[in-house]
């Protein structure tokens, strides 16, 4: 018997995430404008993470390893390693690290 570890949180589609941001903006009205798009998206992302969902990862920054992992608030963080480095070394964003087979990671 193999231990596959905990199942990854389900990942929303781009459409589902955009709809969530739109709904949040609609009920926030002027607060959304005052907050700005970035803060509103962070709020929605954190709420979704709290509810047990991952949002779709952004396109990885070029020139770095493309592996990404969401933090506890759902924000994706990219590995700072060289592109194509040995996945057996795991991935590291400079603050924390994750194994290549992490169920929550998005790998190119
Ligand atoms: Zn990496």
pLDDT tens-place string over residues 15-62? 999 999 999 999 999 999 999 999 999 999 999 999 999 999 999 999
Report the alpha-carbon distance of residue 103 to residue 89 in Å, rounded. Answer: 16
Distance of CA 86 from the midpoint of ligand 1 (Å): 8
Q: How far is the CA of 71 from the centre of ligand 1 (A)?
A: 16
- In this prediction, residue 5 has a pLDDT band, given cuts at 50, 70 and 90, of low
> What is the distance in A from the centroid of ligand 1 to the CA of 87?
6
Identify the burial level of 29 via C-beta atoms within 10 angstroms of its C-beta, where 0-12 means exposed, 13-18 middle and 19 or more buried: exposed
Q: What is the pLDDT of residues 78-93, one digit of tens each?
A: 999 999 999 999 999 9
CA of 28 to the centre of ligand 1 (A): 38
Q: Enumerate residues 6+ apart whose C-beta is below 8 A from 96.
A: 77
Under DSSP, the state recorded for 100 is T
Q: Collapse the DSSP code of 96 into the 3-class scheme (helix H, G, I; strand E, B; otherwise coil) and give the result.
A: coil
User: pTM to 2 decimals?
Assistant: 0.86
Under the banding of pLDDT at 50, 70 and 90, the label for residue 108 is: confident
C-alpha of residue 21 to centroid of ligand 1, in Å: 29
Q: Would you give the DSSP letter of residue 86? A: -
Closest CA to 92 of 71, 73, 77, 74: 77
């Amino acid at each position: 018997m193999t231990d596959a570890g905990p199942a990854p949180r389900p990942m929303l589609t781009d459409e589902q995430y955009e709809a969530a941001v739109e709904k949040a903006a609609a009920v926030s009205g002027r607060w959304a404008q005052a907050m700005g798009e970035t803060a509103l998206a962070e709020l929605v992302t954190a709420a979704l993470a709290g509810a047990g969902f991952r949002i779709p990862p952004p396109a990885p920054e070029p020139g770095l390893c493309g592996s990404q992992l969401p933090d506890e608030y759902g924000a994706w963080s990219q590995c700072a390693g060289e592109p194509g480095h040995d996945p057996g070394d795991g991935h590291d964003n400079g603050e924390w690290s994750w194994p290549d087979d992490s169920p929550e990671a998005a790998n190119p």
